[in-house]
């Protein structure tokens, strides 16, 4: 047996014994790092918060459309829509949205935007503008 053949044989034996152990160690290390990491947890949390906010936005739009259909359109058809009516319509939309939006969504919005009340008022205004364009 030549030296190179013997070296190949020894290398084969060493790799056969060491490679599986090394791979298992590497896989266990990666799994441990993933468990320690908050990347997956943060991504899941962000997705949940995003869905809660989207649901709240849908509730705001529904509230605005509801008030528009049941209150504003009636007053406009009678040519009785005034600035006071506009303020009352905003309050009705605010209260309707407030009831529709879940507590979990309210907490998520407060966490992300700081103030649920300011967020809701802003979204009602923007939803009114979107509803006018439709």
Residue 57 makes CB contacts below 8 A (sequence gap 6+) with 123
Output the pTM of the full model: 0.67
**What is the full per-residue pLDDT of the chain (134 aa) written as tens digits?**
688 888 888 877 877 878 777 878 778 878 777 666 666 677 778 889 999 999 999 999 999 999 988 888 888 888 888 889 889 999 999 999 999 999 999 999 999 999 999 999 999 988 888 777 65
CA distance 127 to 56: 12
Question: For residue 98, how many other CB atoms are within 10 A of its CB?
Answer: 15
DSSP annotation of 101 reads S
């Amino acid at each position: 047996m030549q030296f190179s053949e013997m070296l190949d044989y020894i290398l084969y034996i060493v790799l056969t014994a060491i490679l599986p152990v090394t791979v298992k160690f590497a896989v266990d290390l990666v799994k441990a790092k993933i468990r320690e990491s908050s990347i997956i947890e943060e991504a899941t949390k962000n997705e949940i918060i995003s869905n809660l906010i989207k649901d709240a936005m849908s509730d705001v739009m529904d509230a605005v459309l509801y008030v528009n259909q049941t209150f504003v359109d009636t007053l406009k058809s009678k040519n009785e829509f005034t600035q006071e009516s506009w303020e009352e319509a905003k309050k009705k939309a605010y209260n309707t949205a407030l009831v529709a939006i879940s507590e979990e969504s309210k907490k998520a919005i407060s966490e992300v935007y700081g103030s649920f009340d300011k967020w809701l008022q802003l979204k009602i205004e923007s939803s009114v503008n979107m509803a006018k364009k439709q």
